[in-house]
Chain A
Amino acid sequence: DQQVKQNSPSLSVQEGRISILNCDYTNSMFDYFLWYKKYPAEGPTFLISISSIKDKNEDGRFTVFLNKSAKHLSLHIVPSQPGDSAVYFCAASEEGGGNKLTFGTGTQLKVEL
């Protein structure tokens, strides 16, 4: 069941440059999307989210873009910092019921000095 896909298992970026993490989904009923950051031995930490009625949401260095027609979202981090090195998970939920989250497989971001 691959309703949410992150096709890049890893990404390496230089400090100060832009990091772009991508996520694709197949379920057209998803109407809310979230990005979580995860360090080893910790739980997922909420980063930023977007509702399907929007196409962009920005919070400081983090911006999420949603392209509903392509069923694609991306997370932009600019400028990237070494502390951003972590695994980033894309997740999606449907309105109604329990709003369970369906996660992607994650992308390991490494920000190098």
Chain B
Amino acid sequence: EPEVTQTPSHQVTQMGQEVILRCVPISNHLYFYWYRQILGQKVEFLVSFYNNEISEKSEIFDDQFSVERPDGSNFTLKIRSTKLEDSAMYFCASRRLAGGAKNIQYFGAGTRLSVL
């Protein structure tokens, strides 16, 4: 069964450093998302991406964040200068554009980001 894959599974970085989290969405999906979950809190939407541009972003997704689809398979989240409060699980998700299951988002296993 196709799945969303995320790398790395755990990323440790120093405050102020740049990190790039990588995702390979399901191959026939055209809508991509990043969410995060701070320990003990709920899963929060960060950004959605379609047709090579951001379609919606949350207040969390400030100028320190960016997303990119550098090729036909990868979808990345970059945090330019990490802060302690960026420590969280980051989940990538994808969904179809049309069809009966178009509203269902499928999630990767996540990347645990630890900012020291």
Measured CB to CB, the residues of A under 8 A from B are 32, 34, 36, 41-46, 49, 51, 89, 91, 93, 97-106
Contact = CB atoms under 8 A, between A and B. Distances in A.
B42 A99 contact: no
Interface residues of B, number: 26
Interface stretch (B13-21, B72-80, B101-109): B101-109
Interface of B: 4, 6, 31, 33, 35, 41-45, 48, 50, 55-56, 58, 91, 93, 95, 103-110
A97 B107 contact: no
Given A98-B33, A104-B42, A45 B107 contact: yes
11 contacts: A34-B104, A43-B91, A44-B107, A46-B104, A46-B106, A89-B42, A89-B43, A97-B56, A100-B45, A100-B56, A100-B58
Contacts of A103: 35, 42-44
User: Chain B: interface secondary structure?
Assistant: strand
Per CB-CB distance, the 6 closest pairs between chain A and chain B, nearest first, are A98-B48, A43-B107, A98-B56, A98-B55, A103-B43, A100-B45
Of listed A42, A91, A101, A105, residue having the most chain B CB within 10 A:
A101
Nearest to A102: B45
Nearest to B112: A41
Contact of B104 (A49, A97, A105): A49
Nearest to A89: B43
B109 A42 contact: yes
A44 B42 contact: no
Contacts of B103: 32, 34, 49, 51, 93, 99
A44 B3 CA distance: 12
A36 B35 CA distance: 14
A106 B103 CA distance: 20
A44 B91 contact: yes
A109 to B, nearest CB: 16
